[in-house]
């Protein structure tokens, strides 16, 4: 068998190299334009949130506390508690009767000031023990402060 060597044409080889170089130049320019558009330069470091200062203390404790309401009303059949925290008796709180006309109940209240009256057999009655009395909507009511 006879071996035939293929001779490469130097012109075609140079032409292929020129085309390859042109393609590389186009690709590099496209990449450069892309990265300039997206602006992948590092920016300033992200701000780390600082812990907040504790708020000034509230004048009242936020804990729920049970407060006792009681009255002595000899001869009364029923005593209810009407207050701003039960919409003035819309959801009545009936006090438990004991001997000798003593009635009481305990109510869970958060810190704050609460206005109330007793309803002794349906008649509004101020708490005889509580001297903290205020005018509310044209009537006198007692004020209980929970701290």
The answer to the question of residue 123 being in a domain is: yes
pLDDT in tens, 38-52: 555 666 666 666 676
Digits of tens for pLDDT over the chain (147 positions)? 555 666 668 888 888 889 888 888 887 777 776 666 655 566 666 666 667 666 665 555 567 889 999 999 999 999 999 999 999 988 889 999 999 999 999 999 988 899 999 999 999 999 999 999 999 999 999 999 988
Domain CATH for 137: 2.60.40.10
Instruction: Say if CB 40 and CB 33 are below 8 A apart.
Output: no
Q: pTM of the full predicted structure?
A: 0.58
55 in any annotated domain:
no
Q: Is 75 contained in some domain? A: yes
Within 8 A by CB and 6+ apart from 104, the residues are: 68, 69, 70, 71, 95, 96, 98
Enclosing domain of residue 129: 65-146
Q: Is residue 89 part of a domain?
A: yes
Q: What digits encode the pLDDT tens for the residues 82-97?
A: 999 999 988 889 999 9
In a domain, 46, yes or no: no
Q: How many domains are contained in the chain? A: 1
Question: What CA–CA distance (Å, rounded) separates 145 from 112?
Answer: 6
70 neighbors 104 (Cβ within 8 angstroms)? yes
| 28 found inside a domain | no
Residue 89 exposed, middle or buried by CB count within 10 Å (0-12, 13-18, 19+): middle
Report yes or no on 47 lying in a domain: no
Q: Does some domain include residue 49?
A: no
């Amino acid at each position: 068998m006879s071996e035939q060597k293929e001779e490469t044409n130097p012109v075609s080889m140079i032409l292929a190299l020129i085309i390859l170089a042109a393609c590389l130049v186009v690709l590099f320019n496209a990449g450069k334009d892309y990265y300039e558009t997206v602006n992948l330069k590092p920016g300033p470091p992200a701000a780390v949130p600082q812990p907040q200062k504790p708020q000034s203390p509230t004048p009242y404790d936020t804990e729920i506390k049970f407060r006792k309401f009681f009255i002595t009303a000899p001869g009364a059949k029923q005593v209810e508690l009407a207050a701003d925290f039960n919409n003035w008796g819309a959801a009545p709180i009936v006090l438990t009767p004991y001997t000798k006309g003593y009635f009481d109940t305990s109510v869970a209240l958060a810190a704050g000031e609460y206005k109330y009256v007793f309803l002794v057999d349906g008649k509004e009655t101020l708490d005889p023990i509580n001297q903290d009395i205020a005018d509310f909507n044209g009537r006198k009511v007692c004020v209980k402060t929970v701290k």
